[in-house]
């Protein structure tokens, strides 16, 4: 790497001490230095403020994670937030499921209530239908009784017919308000008993009075049936979503059809009994007959099942064709001879027809009941299912939250252990990085860790500095190894602390030789010349204040040399790699140090004569190239030495660097003798810099 010139006094002193002992001194020195550094790192490695300078830690966290620390499950506040987040995560869908189930259950209960209302509605409609049916039958019997003056055959006994009607009225669970118009007057029946009393009184009047007419009968019974059918219509909700409204409308229309058929049959009996219908009666017959047929067709369209029933009626009923024939005769309204027997046959045929229609009505009533019962069963099943789902959700929700809480607790415990291990790993990594940065330049070490290789680099202009201790060989010869190690450790720590104030890099120390360079590995333009010059003057000034620890009466003297020129620098080796400098500049700088002037002092120790070289003038030997570079910048005084014979170089014109011109040392406080207490073991400043968060 560079050639070290051995002086004659060192060659002569080889006979005065054992080379093996000197090698042991160097080994002990290296071991103590390493232990001291490791102890310092271990003592301060626990400090959480230490910043690792590894390439992995230098990389910044991605954006959007500025609050990562607040939700770190390893710390206290982050643990609570993380637990809250993890509990909210399953709680939201659980609450959504509970709300959804509650809404569905509420809809099911509303649907069930609607079906129950429909059941009540169907019950009322059925009861009204029975009353209307009984009133229709009673009207037919009473009308025929009035028409024949009670002398002709009756299909049933009037008293029995009255009892059947009364029974239907009695079975009604509720009585709707009924408005009946009779003889130009309207009467409101709010209760069932009042209506029954008026009905009984009307019956007595018809039977006892000889002046009762069919018109009076039709008017009374028709107004009663019309009022009840109107109330039945109001009971039906055509907008019902259940679909039962079709059956109810069919039921109502069929009742109205039977009502209109009964009214038309009364006019038909009147036609065959009198042989002619008056215009008003004829119009009423045509109107009611058309309404009856239209309502019947509407009912059949609402409930297609009824079409089959009606077709079977048309096929099985004996007088069905005869009824249509007689209706055609009545529609013509041709005057004819009255025939009571034909009127009676027509009455019996129409009564049989209406009875068959009532059978279809009963079938429809059964369909309605079955439909409502099916809806009630479906509603009850849905309600039970909704309640079961709600109970299951409410029962499972705490279990899920408990499981999530346990899982989060396990994750947090693992995260805390992982964070602890990561912190310990980072602490150890910092220790290794600090140790690495003491061996290699931080920039080179970082590049070596990232790419595992650092190519050699050419530097066009750097300044290299060498120094050694005057008379070190003689001092080592008369000192114990421990004293030598303590001596070198003290002086090198002082030098290391002083060079931290300058833009220089300590290359290495070999024995008592101290090598420093500036301008690499980070280039600094032409500042390297002034940085080395100022550093050399500072080290020379500091060495004058240094006392040899085990020889308090003697002052340390150093010999220095520097040269400016090009070098090549790079990492050498894979085992304990070193950052080395190569080139003639290194050799020339070493020659500048070794060719410095000195004189010799003689002293006796243990009856032996020792020769010690002493530098008479505290000067720094520099080359012509460095002198020119300093002159170009200015601010430094030099003294011409003249031509000297340099081994391997021949005659060279060299100079002494004496001092700075009017400048103030940037480290003037270092000149205070109390800065370096002899018993204080100070940490190098660059280690403190590496711990600074903003170093890079």
Q: Give the phi and the psi of residue 242 in degrees, each rounded to 5.
A: -75, -25
Q: Report the C-alpha gap between 87 and 90 in whole angstroms.
A: 6
Q: Report the C-alpha gap between 245 and 197 in whole angstroms.
A: 34
pTM assigned to the model: 0.46
Contact 135, 165 (CB under 8 A): yes
What percent of the chain is predicted at pLDDT more than 70?
A: 76
Contacts of 31 (CB under 8 A, 6+ apart): none
Q: Which of 438, 433, 442, 463 is nearest to 581 (CA)?
A: 463
Q: Report the C-alpha gap between 677 and 545 in whole angstroms.
A: 11
Q: Which pLDDT score, from 0 to 100, does residue 258 have?
A: 86
Per-residue three-class SS string for 211-222: CCCHHHHHHHHH
Contact 441, 433 (CB under 8 A): no
What's the average model confidence in pLDDT over 333-358?
A: 86
What's the average model confidence in pLDDT over 223-245?
A: 71
Q: Which pLDDT score, from 0 to 100, does residue 679 have?
A: 42
In the chain, where the domains are located: 101-391, 442-664
Distance of CA 175 to the CA centre of its chain: 63
605: pLDDT confidence band, cut at 50, 70 and 90?
very low
- Among 456-470, 558-572, 677-691, the range scoring the smallest mean pLDDT is 677-691
Q: Which pLDDT score, from 0 to 100, does residue 613 have?
A: 42
Tokens of 644: 């000297």
Looking at per-residue pLDDT, the higher value among 338 and 218 belongs to: 338
Q: Which DSSP letter does residue 675 get?
A: G
Helix (H) / strand (E) element for 658: namely strand 650-660
Of the options 3.40.50.40, 3.10.20.30, 3.30.420.40, 3.30.70.1230, the CATH number for the domain spanning 442-664: 3.30.70.1230
Q: With both helix axes pointing from N to C terminus, report the angle between 245-274 and 214-235 in degrees, rounded to the nearest 10.
A: 170
b/e for 91-108, b at 16 or more Cβ within 10 A?
Answer: eeebeeeeeebeeebeeb
418: pLDDT confidence band, cut at 50, 70 and 90?
confident
Contact 10, 590 (CB under 8 A): no
Give residue-wise pLDDT tens across range 544-597. Answer: 777 777 776 677 788 889 999 999 988 887 777 788 889 999 999 998 888 876
Contacts of 102 (CB under 8 A, 6+ apart): 390
């Amino acid at each position: 790497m560079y050639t070290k010139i051995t002086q004659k006094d060192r060659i002569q002193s080889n006979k005065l001490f054992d080379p093996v002992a000197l090698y042991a001194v160097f080994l002990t020195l290296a071991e103590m230095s390493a232990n001291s550094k490791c102890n310092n790192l271990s003592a301060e490695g626990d400090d959480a403020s230490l910043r690792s300078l590894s390439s992995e830690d230098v990389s910044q966290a991605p954006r959007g994670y500025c609050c990562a620390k607040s939700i770190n499950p390893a710390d206290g506040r982050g643990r609570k937030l993380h637990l809250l987040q993890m509990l909210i995560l399953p709680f939201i869908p659980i609450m959504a499921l509970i709300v959804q189930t509650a809404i569905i259950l509420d809809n099911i209960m509303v649907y069930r209530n609607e079906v129950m209302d429909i059941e009540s509605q169907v019950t009322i409609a059925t009861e009204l239908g029975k009353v209307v049916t009984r009133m229709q039958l009673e009207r037919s019997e009473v009308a025929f009784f009035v028409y024949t003056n009670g002398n002709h055959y009756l299909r049933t006994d009037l008293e029995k017919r009255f009892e059947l009607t009364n029974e239907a009225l009695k079975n009604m669970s509720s009585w709707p308000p009924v408005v009946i118009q009779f003889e130009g007057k309207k009467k409101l029946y709010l209760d069932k008993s009042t209506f029954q009393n008026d009905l009984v009184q009307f019956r007595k009047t018809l039977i006892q009075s000889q002046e009762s007419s069919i018109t009076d009968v039709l008017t009374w019974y028709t107004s009663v049936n019309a009022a009840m059918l109107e109330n039945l219509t109001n009971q039906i909700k055509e907008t019902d979503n259940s679909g039962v409204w079709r059956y109810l409308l069919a039921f109502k229309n069929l009742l109205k059809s039977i009502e209109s058929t009964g009214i038309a049959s009364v006019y038909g009996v009147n036609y065959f009994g009198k042989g002619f219908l008056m215009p008003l009666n004829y119009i009423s017959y045509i109107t009611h007959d058309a309404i009856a047929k239209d309502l019947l067709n509407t009912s059949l369209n609402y409930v297609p099942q009824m079409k089959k029933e009606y077709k079977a009626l048309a096929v099985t009923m004996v007088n069905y064709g005869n009824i249509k024939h007689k209706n055609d005769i009545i529609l013509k309204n041709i005057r004819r001879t009255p025939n009571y027997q034909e009127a009676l046959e027509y009455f019996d045929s129409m009564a049989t027809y209406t009875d068959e229609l009532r059978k279809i009505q009963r079938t429809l009533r059964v369909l309605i009941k079955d439909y409502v019962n099916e809806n009630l069963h479906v509603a009850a099943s849905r309600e039970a299912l909704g309640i079961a789902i709600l109970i299951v959700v409410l029962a499972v929700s705490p279990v899920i939250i408990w499981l999530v809480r346990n899982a989060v607790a396990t994750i947090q415990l693992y995260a805390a252990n992982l964070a602890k291990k990561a912190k310990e790993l980072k602490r150890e990594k910092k220790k290794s990085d600090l140790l690495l940065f003491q061996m290699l330049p931080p920039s080179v070490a970082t590049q070596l860790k990232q790419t595992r290789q650092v190519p050699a680099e050419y530097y066009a202009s750097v300044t290299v500095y060498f120094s050694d201790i005057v008379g070190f060989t003689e001092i080592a010869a008369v000192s114990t190894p421990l004293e030598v190690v303590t001596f070198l450790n003290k002086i090198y720590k002082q030098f290391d602390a002083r060079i931290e104030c300058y833009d220089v890099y300590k290359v290495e120390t070999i024995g008592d030789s101290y090598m420093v360079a500036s301008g690499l590995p980070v280039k600094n333009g032409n500042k390297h010349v002034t940085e080395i010059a100022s550093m050399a003057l500072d080290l020379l000034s500091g060495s004058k204040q240094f006392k040899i620890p085990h020889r308090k009466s003697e002052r340390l003297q150093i010999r220095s040399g520097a040269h400016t020129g090009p070098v090549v620098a790079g990492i050498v080796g894979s085992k304990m790699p070193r950052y080395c400098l190569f080139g003639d500049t290194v050799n020339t700088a070493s020659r500048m140090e070794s060719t410095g002037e000195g004189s010799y002092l003689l002293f006796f120790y243990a009856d032996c004569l020792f020769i010690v070289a002493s530098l008479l003038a505290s000067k720094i030997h520099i080359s012509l190239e460095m002198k020119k570079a300093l002159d170009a910048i200015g601010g430094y005084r030099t003294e011409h030495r003249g031509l000297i014979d340099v081994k391997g170089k021949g005659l060279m014109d060299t100079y002494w660097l004496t001092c700075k011109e009017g400048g103030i040392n940037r480290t003037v406080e270092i000149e205070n003798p109390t800065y370096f207490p002899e018993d204080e073991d100070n940490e190098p400043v660059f280690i403190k810099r590496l711990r600074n968060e903003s170093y890079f």
